[in-house]
Amino acid sequence: MNIARSQELFVQARRYMPGGVNSPVRACKSVGCEPVFVERAAGAKIYDADGNEYVDFVCSWGPMILGHNHPAVVAAIKEALAAGTSFGAPTSSEIELARLVTAALPSVEKVRFVSSGTEATMSAVRLARGFSGRSKVVKFDGCYHGHADSFLIKAGSGVITLGIPGSPGVPEDIVKNTISIPYNDSTILEQTLRDPELDIACLIIEPVAGNMGVVAPAPGFLQLARQLTSELGIILIFDEVITGFRLALGGAQEYYGVRPDLTCLGKIIGGGLPVGAYGGKKEIMDQIAPDGPVYQAGTLSGNPLTMAAGAATLRELGRPGFYPELEKKSARFAAQLAELAHRYLPGQTTLNRVASMMTTFFTPGPVSDHSTAMQADTARYAAHYRHMRSRGIWLAPAQFEAAFISAAQTETDLSRALDQTEWSFKNLRNQ
């Protein structure tokens, strides 16, 4: 596969941008190669600067659940674009997307739109502190909640992909208010939350971890978190930036039947454009300025193009049968993938899947938390990534990320991916 143009572009990019990229994992350092530069996308395919075609399992890191350039989303953006790109003022499109979000998520009585998932999580934590009058935040090892200072302790995503234990530039005075505990450990969860000395404002969790690879909550774990936080007056925050509208129309909270106090959203609710949101109980959300004293603002929040794209996406997701069809496709693909791993790499991989998100870990497993995820053979994943990319399959350039199934992927696309996976696994068996 020729990638000469992409290599030329990467040389140019490194002259002007740190690492030649605007988000670290894109540089492909952990998988031992240079990135290819994407020129366009349509449906389940993306195309690089050299004209190569790939079946896309990254889906722009999750939001392209309908596939790329979905006609309804494109039409909504074009209509909004004709009226202008940004106003810095209220628009009716904000109301429409807010209506759709609150209708789908019963726990969200009011919502505030922002421009990124990091903004959503940092704002939700500030609100939780302001509402509760407490200071400490409890998170989980390997869960990633964006790059705000207080979240970079034992974080997931690019932090563990690049082997960064934290980050220079984060003052100790800030991180001392963040407590990180093992994911799926009910005993430590209860001990931590019941400690009267900790002054805990909130517990924030990815209800399905997607940033140390896909790791599902143990049976009863989310329910225990809800029970304890309710009992102890601690605000429960679900970070559904990945899982929101991905697992079900009502997100992970519908999928598992657990209602948080606050929810953070992103990705899908922008239809592929930059977005974030946080919302929850009215009495908590009414503490945000201008109604209350907790300040948060954003010049481009509620951008009309994003609102239009998000509303069009959510209307498509609300069509009868969308999620059952996506589940059926995802389950069948995952079963075939697992069968190939068992045939060619017996006892050497673990496939974790929840709905249309999944990760193949190159470890015997099981993978149930950060420490077991870190047992994965990242060199082997890197070889698998290079194999697949060279044969037209677009995977995340990191072991500790999710692969996503989209509605646009056909049986032909998935069969092509399975054929190339078989070829890769055969080669890995001999290494």
Separation of alpha carbons 305 and 99, rounded Å: 17
- 185 as an active site residue: the answer is no
Q: Are 273 and 239 in contact (CB under 8 A)?
A: no
User: In whole angstroms, how far apart are CA 282 and each of 120, 159, 331?
Assistant: 17, 34, 37
Cα-trace Rg, the chain: 21
Neighbour count for residue 245 (Cβ, 10 Å):
27
Task: Give the active site residue among 267, 329, 369, 413.
Answer: 267
User: In whole angstroms, how far apart are CA 329 and each of 2, 252, 315, 350?
Assistant: 32, 19, 21, 20
Helix/strand/coil (H/E/C) assignment for every residue in the chain: CCCHHHHHHHHHHHHHCHHHCCCHHHHCHHHCCCCCCEEEEEECEEEECCCCEEEECCCCCCCCCCCECCHHHHHHHHHHHHHCCCCCCCCHHHHHHHHHHHHHCCCCCEEEEECCHHHHHHHHHHHHHHHHCCCEEEEECCCCCCCCHHHCCCCCCHHHHCCCCCCCCCCHHHHCCEEEECCCCHHHHHHHHCCCCCCEEEEEECCCECCCCCECCCCCHHHHHHHHHHHHCCEEEEECCCCCCCCCCCHHHHHHCCCCCEEEEEHHHHCCCCCEEEEECHHHHCCECCCCCECCCCCCCCCHHHHHHHHHHHHHHCCCCHHHHHHHHHHHHHHHHHHHHHHHCCCCCEEEEECCEEEEECCCCCCCCHHHHCCCCHHHHHHHHHHHHHCCEECCCCCCCCEECCCCCCHHHHHHHHHHHHHHHHHHHCC
Q: Are 100 and 268 in contact (CB under 8 A)?
A: no
Task: Give the active site residue among 56, 136, 141, 144.
Answer: 144
Task: Give the active site residue among 48, 141, 185, 239.
Answer: 239
- 54 as an active site residue: the answer is no
- 144 as an active site residue: the answer is yes
Separation of alpha carbons 288 and 76, rounded Å: 30
Q: Which residues are catalytic?
A: 144, 239, 267
